[in-house]
Amino acid sequence: MDLGIRGRKAIVNGGSAGMGRSTVLALAREGVEVFVSARGEERLVAACREIAAETGSHVTPICADHSTPEGRAAILAACPAPDILVGTCAPPPMTPDYRAITEKQWREAIDISLLSPIAFMREVVDGMAQRGWGRVVNIATVAAKYPGEIRVLSGATRAALANYTGAVGKVVAKHNVMINNVLPGMHHSAFVADQFGERARAKGTTYEQEVAEFSKEWRIAAERFGDCDDVGAFVAMFCSEFANYMTGQNLVIDGGATNSTF
- For a pLDDT cut of 90, what percent of the chain falls above it? 90
Tens digit of each residue's pLDDT (9 = 90 or more) over 123-149: 999 999 999 999 999 999 999 999 989
- Res. 159: pLDDT tops 80: yes
- Res. 90: pLDDT tops 80: no
Tens digit of each residue's pLDDT (9 = 90 or more) over 14-69: 999 999 999 999 999 999 999 999 999 999 999 999 999 999 999 999 999 998 99
- Res. 183: pLDDT tops 80: yes
Q: What is the mean predicted confidence (pLDDT) over 203-227?
A: 95
The sheet carrying 177-184 orders its strands as 59-63, 33-38, 9-13, 84-87, 134-139, 177-184, 250-253
Q: What is the mean predicted confidence (pLDDT) over 210-214?
A: 95
Would you state the pLDDT for residue 261? 82
- Res. 89: pLDDT tops 80: no
Taken in order of first residue, the domains within the chain and their CATH numbers are 9-185+228-247 (3.40.50.720), 186-225 (no CATH)
Would you state the pLDDT for residue 95? 86
- Res. 219: pLDDT tops 90: yes
Give the pLDDT band of residue 94 (cuts 50, 70, 90): confident
> CB-based contacts of 178: which residues, under 8 Å, 6+ apart?
134, 135, 136, 169, 238, 243, 244, 246, 247
Local structure of residue 132 (DSSP, 8 states): T
Would you state the pLDDT for residue 35? 98
Give the pLDDT band of residue 172 (cuts 50, 70, 90): very high
Would you state the pLDDT for residue 117? 94
pTM of the predicted model as reported, rounded to 2 decimal places: 0.94
Would you state the pLDDT for residue 91? 78
- Res. 93: pLDDT tops 90: no
Chain length of the chain:
262
Chain-centroid distance of CA 73 in Å reads 20
Would you state the pLDDT for residue 161? 96
d(CA 119, CA 53): 32
Q: What is the mean predicted confidence (pLDDT) over 197-226?
A: 95
Mean pLDDT of the chain: 95
Biggest CA pair distance of the chain:
57
- For a pLDDT cut of 70, what percent of the chain falls above it? 100
